[in-house]
Amino acid sequence: MTAADVPLDLVGATLDAITISHQLDLRFSTGTSVSIETPFTLTLADGSVTVHDPEDHDSLGGALRLLHDTVDRARVDSDVLVIGFVGGTFLTVGTDPEYESWHVHTAAGSRLIGLPGGGVAIWLPSR
Protein backbone atom coordinates (compact mmCIF):
# COMPACT_ATOMS: atom_id res chain seq x y z
CA MET A 1 0.00 0.00 0.00
CA THR A 2 1.21 3.50 -0.81
CA ALA A 3 0.30 6.80 0.83
CA ALA A 4 -1.87 7.63 -2.19
CA ASP A 5 -4.08 4.63 -1.29
CA VAL A 6 -4.88 5.85 2.24
CA PRO A 7 -8.09 7.94 2.50
CA LEU A 8 -7.25 11.27 4.14
CA ASP A 9 -10.91 12.04 4.94
CA LEU A 10 -10.44 15.68 3.98
CA VAL A 11 -12.56 16.24 0.84
CA GLY A 12 -15.68 18.16 1.88
CA ALA A 13 -14.22 18.96 5.29
CA THR A 14 -14.07 22.46 6.72
CA LEU A 15 -10.89 23.75 8.36
CA ASP A 16 -12.29 24.35 11.85
CA ALA A 17 -9.20 25.28 13.86
CA ILE A 18 -5.60 26.39 13.41
CA THR A 19 -3.08 26.18 16.24
CA ILE A 20 0.41 27.66 16.08
CA SER A 21 3.36 26.57 18.23
CA HIS A 22 6.61 25.20 16.80
CA GLN A 23 4.36 23.70 14.13
CA LEU A 24 1.11 24.56 12.38
CA ASP A 25 -1.78 22.31 13.39
CA LEU A 26 -4.92 22.15 11.25
CA ARG A 27 -8.11 20.54 12.60
CA PHE A 28 -10.86 19.61 10.15
CA SER A 29 -14.58 18.95 10.59
CA THR A 30 -14.15 15.26 9.69
CA GLY A 31 -11.86 14.71 12.67
CA THR A 32 -8.72 14.56 10.55
CA SER A 33 -5.81 16.65 11.77
CA VAL A 34 -2.73 17.80 9.88
CA SER A 35 0.48 19.00 11.52
CA ILE A 36 3.09 20.87 9.50
CA GLU A 37 6.57 21.17 10.97
CA THR A 38 8.60 22.54 8.07
CA PRO A 39 8.21 25.31 5.46
CA PHE A 40 5.26 24.92 3.09
CA THR A 41 3.80 26.81 0.17
CA LEU A 42 0.42 28.33 -0.52
CA THR A 43 -0.53 28.69 -4.17
CA LEU A 44 -3.43 31.09 -4.60
CA ALA A 45 -6.09 30.93 -7.31
CA ASP A 46 -4.28 33.71 -9.20
CA GLY A 47 -1.13 31.54 -9.37
CA SER A 48 0.91 33.50 -6.85
CA VAL A 49 3.00 31.35 -4.51
CA THR A 50 4.11 32.22 -0.99
CA VAL A 51 6.35 30.28 1.38
CA HIS A 52 5.44 29.96 5.05
CA ASP A 53 7.46 28.58 7.95
CA PRO A 54 5.71 27.35 11.13
CA GLU A 55 8.64 28.57 13.21
CA ASP A 56 8.33 32.09 11.75
CA HIS A 57 4.94 33.13 13.08
CA ASP A 58 5.01 36.38 11.10
CA SER A 59 4.97 34.34 7.88
CA LEU A 60 1.75 32.49 8.69
CA GLY A 61 -0.84 35.19 7.91
CA GLY A 62 -1.70 33.64 4.56
CA ALA A 63 -2.35 30.27 6.13
CA LEU A 64 -4.70 31.80 8.70
CA ARG A 65 -6.96 32.97 5.85
CA LEU A 66 -7.78 29.29 5.19
CA LEU A 67 -9.75 29.05 8.45
CA HIS A 68 -13.34 27.89 7.71
CA ASP A 69 -12.52 27.10 4.05
CA THR A 70 -13.66 23.78 2.61
CA VAL A 71 -11.31 21.17 1.16
CA ASP A 72 -12.14 20.05 -2.37
CA ARG A 73 -9.13 17.79 -2.94
CA ALA A 74 -6.37 16.21 -0.90
CA ARG A 75 -3.66 13.75 -1.79
CA VAL A 76 -0.16 12.55 -1.10
CA ASP A 77 1.94 12.61 -4.29
CA SER A 78 4.95 10.42 -3.55
CA ASP A 79 5.95 12.14 -0.28
CA VAL A 80 4.36 15.57 -0.85
CA LEU A 81 1.10 16.48 0.90
CA VAL A 82 -1.27 18.63 -1.18
CA ILE A 83 -4.54 20.06 0.15
CA GLY A 84 -6.76 22.08 -2.20
CA PHE A 85 -9.49 24.41 -1.02
CA VAL A 86 -12.73 25.44 -2.74
CA GLY A 87 -11.48 29.00 -3.26
CA GLY A 88 -8.61 27.72 -5.41
CA THR A 89 -5.80 27.83 -2.84
CA PHE A 90 -3.42 24.87 -2.58
CA LEU A 91 -1.35 24.11 0.51
CA THR A 92 1.71 22.00 -0.37
CA VAL A 93 4.17 20.46 2.07
CA GLY A 94 7.25 18.81 0.61
CA THR A 95 10.02 16.91 2.32
CA ASP A 96 12.77 18.12 4.59
CA PRO A 97 16.26 16.57 4.62
CA GLU A 98 16.41 16.44 8.43
CA TYR A 99 12.90 16.55 9.92
CA GLU A 100 9.47 15.02 9.61
CA SER A 101 7.67 17.60 7.52
CA TRP A 102 4.01 16.70 7.99
CA HIS A 103 1.68 14.35 9.87
CA VAL A 104 -1.89 13.36 9.00
CA HIS A 105 -4.12 11.64 11.58
CA THR A 106 -7.57 10.58 10.39
CA ALA A 107 -10.60 10.01 12.59
CA ALA A 108 -10.59 6.41 11.32
CA GLY A 109 -7.19 5.88 12.92
CA SER A 110 -4.86 6.06 9.93
CA ARG A 111 -1.63 7.95 10.38
CA LEU A 112 0.80 9.17 7.72
CA ILE A 113 4.10 10.97 8.30
CA GLY A 114 6.33 12.72 5.76
CA LEU A 115 9.74 11.32 6.71
CA PRO A 116 13.10 13.13 6.83
CA GLY A 117 14.78 12.92 3.44
CA GLY A 118 11.63 11.63 1.71
CA GLY A 119 9.19 8.77 1.96
CA VAL A 120 6.04 8.30 3.98
CA ALA A 121 5.44 6.16 7.06
CA ILE A 122 1.95 4.67 7.14
CA TRP A 123 0.02 3.22 10.07
CA LEU A 124 -3.44 1.78 9.52
CA PRO A 125 -6.01 0.96 12.19
CA SER A 126 -6.35 -2.67 13.28
CA ARG A 127 -9.38 -4.41 11.90
Three-class DSSP category at 8 = coil
CA 3 to chain centre: 13
- % pLDDT > 90, the chain: 89
CA separation for the pair 17, 89 (Å, rounded): 17
pLDDT at 127 over 80: no
Answer for the pair 116, 94: CB distance below 8 angstroms, yes or no: no
Q: What is the pLDDT of residues 104-116, one digit of tens each?
A: 999 999 999 999 9
Select from 107, 125, 99, 110 the least CA-distant residue to 3.
110
Answer for the pair 90, 84: CB distance below 8 angstroms, yes or no: yes
Number of residues in the chain: 127
What is the model's pLDDT at position 1?
Answer: 81
- % pLDDT > 70, the chain: 99
What average pLDDT does this structure show over 50-79? Answer: 94
pLDDT bin (cut points 50, 70, 90) of residue 126 is confident
Is the whole model's pTM more than 0.75, yes or no?
yes
